[in-house]
């Protein structure tokens, strides 16, 4: 088990090449937000935009289009129930499915069947619960799972009380891709390697923290490639920003963390 440090962020976040355009920094598609949980998709999309993804599109319930644009005009929106979801999946560098998806099994299966091998797929939140229940076929793709403890119980079969780095590593090894097992001390499993995040606190124990992290993971993978290190850096950065804010804030809300991303990334890009 390796313990992460600020070095992973300094390594991943590099100054941008100058003769570039937005397409060079990736397209992130967020799929989520049913009629009840629209905020989750808005949070994930906001995190992706502020973390530097070149273009961000949200496939969500039509109820969420207006609030998404009102908060985040930088993002584009499509209706997750329409056929253009498949086109949007095909155009994406990274697909993040799950924030606020609820029980929309149909959309999960449509996305899983459309993702292709060169793409990165972040499976988060409700999408993990749906996958655990129904085990639909997974695409050949770079998959990143981001379960919290209860979702990890559903996905791995390991009761929360029994989740240890050792038991989780065995379960993670049976899944394709990277597993970000979120908890007070988040552990990341990638192949035979495992990493522990030493930062973060209970100031993150508030609705939307997971959606924020999913968006950052999406944006870092879209921009920086290198799935393992990008994912590690996203986990560390999310907690590190929270720790800095927690010096003066009892809870570190998603919108507060997201607002810090451009500054945080500038500091680490220039180190």
Least Cβ distance, residue 29 to a copy of itself (angstroms): 13
Element (H, E) at 189: strand 187-190
Q: Which is nearer to a copy of itself, 37 or 131 (CB)?
A: 37
For the chain, the straight-line distance linking the first and the last C-alpha, in angstroms and rounded, comes to: 26
Task: Please report how close the Cβ of residue 170 comes to a copy of itself at its closest, in angstroms.
Answer: 22
Q: Is residue 21 marked as binding?
A: no
Q: Which residue has the tokens 């397409």?
A: 23
248 is in an annotated binding site: no
* CB of 234 vs a copy of itself, minimal distance in Å: 14
Nearest to 76 by CA among 122, 41, 40: 41
For a copy of itself, the closer of residues 81 and 149 by Cβ is 149
C-alpha torsion angle, residues 269, 182, 249, 30 (rounded to 10): 60
φ, ψ (nearest 5 deg) of residue 60: -150, 170
Is residue 8 within 8 Å of residue 233, measured between CB atoms? yes
80 marked ligand binding residue = no
> Does the annotation place 211 within a ligand binding site?
yes
Cβ closer to a copy of itself: 9 or 188?
Answer: 9
* Residues 48, 29: Cα–Cα separation, whole Å: 9
Nearer to a copy of itself, 52 or 177 (CB): 52
Is 148 known as a binding-site position?
yes
Residue ranges of the annotated binding site for (6S)-NADPHX are 40, 100, 148, 211
Residue ranges of the annotated binding site for AMP are 182-186, 210
Residue ranges of the annotated binding site are 40, 100, 148, 182-186, 210-211
């Amino acid at each position: 088990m390796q313990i992460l440090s600020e070095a992973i962020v300094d390594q991943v976040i590099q100054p941008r090449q100058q003769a570039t355009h937005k397409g060079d920094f990736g397209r992130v598609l967020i799929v989520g937000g049913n009629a009840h949980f629209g905020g989750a998709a808005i949070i994930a999309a906001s995190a992706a935009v502020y973390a530097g993804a070149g273009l961000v599109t949200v496939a969500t319930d039509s109820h969420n289009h207006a609030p998404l644009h009102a908060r985040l005009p930088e993002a584009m929106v499509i209706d997750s129930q329409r056929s253009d979801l498949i086109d949007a999946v095909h155009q994406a560098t990274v697909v993040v499915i799950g924030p606020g998806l609820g029980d929309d099994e149909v959309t999960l299966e449509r996305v899983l069947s459309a993702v292709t091998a060169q793409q990165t797929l972040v499976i988060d939140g409700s999408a993990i619960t749906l996958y655990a229940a129904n085990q639909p076929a997974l695409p050949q793709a770079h998959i990143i799972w981001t379960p919290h403890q209860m979702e990890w119980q559903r996905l791995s079969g390991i009761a929360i009380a029994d989740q240890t780095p050792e038991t989780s590593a065995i379960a993670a090894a049976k899944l394709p891709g990277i597993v970000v097992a979120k908890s007070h001390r988040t552990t990341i499993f990638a192949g035979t390697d495992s990493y522990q995040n030493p930062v973060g606190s209970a100031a993150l124990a508030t609705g939307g923290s997971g959606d924020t992290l999913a968006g950052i993971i999406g944006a870092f993978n879209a921009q920086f490639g290198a799935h393992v290190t990008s994912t590690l850096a996203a986990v560390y950065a999310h907690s590190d920003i929270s720790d800095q804010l927690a010096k003066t804030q009892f809870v570190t809300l998603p919108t507060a963390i997201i607002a810090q991303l451009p500054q945080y990334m500038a500091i680490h890009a220039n180190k």
